[in-house]
Structure 1
């Protein structure tokens, strides 16, 4: 399953990248993030990995992020792996009149009957979640609004 989401953030690209590239900020725009742990000696570099723990509803799960390509401020690609799901995320950042256009391409591969069935029956759930992360990042980057303020 593949799809693309995009959003314009009212920040210059360098300020946008500074907020996006700080893992401490993830908790402010990734609803359900419980924590993260760097698994590599050089965090944030190509090939480095980070473990991310989330809670969605009553379900807790962990995924591993691997950075594939880091060519900031233009692009940043990574994979996310958890049980039954492999997600490749390609992010592109363009300067548009002092604002930043974030284009996010997602590609999901599923293993296991349950995940394949869920993807077939509810493909919109994945895109909706991706778009929510972009919208929550926009709110955080532009106004400082954190998803932590909701509860």
Structure 2
């Protein structure tokens, strides 16, 4: 399952990149986020592995490429699913940035999550768009 989401943010591409790459900001726009812990490699560099803790789940992030604002590409592994996320930030104007993300779920583990993905695929996209909307609000409040 693959889908795209995007949002326009009233801020420079440099500022959006800076906020995106600061894990301390995740708690402001990703519901239930607790912390991000580097396991190996250098933070936000290709090959870096981190454990991400949320109230209801834990997952492993592996950075596959980080060339923001052009591209941030990462693999996310959870006991019930595996997905990749590709983020591109495009400067539309001096203080306007388009945030585009492509999510691809490559594996669902377990009958329940497979059923949810099959019956309610829009639920996954809705959650990602919600986080993009919350990210926009957070970035624009940092002026």
* TM score, norm. by length of structure 1: 0.89
Contact 2:41/2:47 (CA < 8 Å) preserved in 1? Answer: no
Q: What SS does the aligned partner of 1:11 have?
A: coil
Q: Which residue of 2 aligns with 1:117?
A: 115
Q: Which residue of 2 aligns with 1:7?
A: 7
**Structure 2 unaligned blocks of 5 or more:** none
Q: Which residue of 2 aligns with 1:49?
A: 49
1:91 matched to 2:83 = no
Alignment of 1:117-136 (within 5 A): 117-136=115-134
Question: Alignment RMSD, CA only?
Answer: 1.0
Note the C-alpha offset of 1:35.
1.7
Q: Which residue of 2 aligns with 1:25?
A: 25
Which consecutive segments of 4 or more residues in structure 1 shift more than 4 A? none
Q: Which moved more, 1:133-142 or 1:109-118?
A: 109-118
* TM score, norm. by length of structure 2: 0.94
Residue of structure 2 aligned with 1:100, choices 97, 101, 118? 97
Note the C-alpha offset of 1:74.
1.0
Q: In structure 2, what is the Cα distance between the partners aligned to 1:84 and 1:140?
A: 29
**Structure 1 unaligned blocks of 5 or more:** 145-151
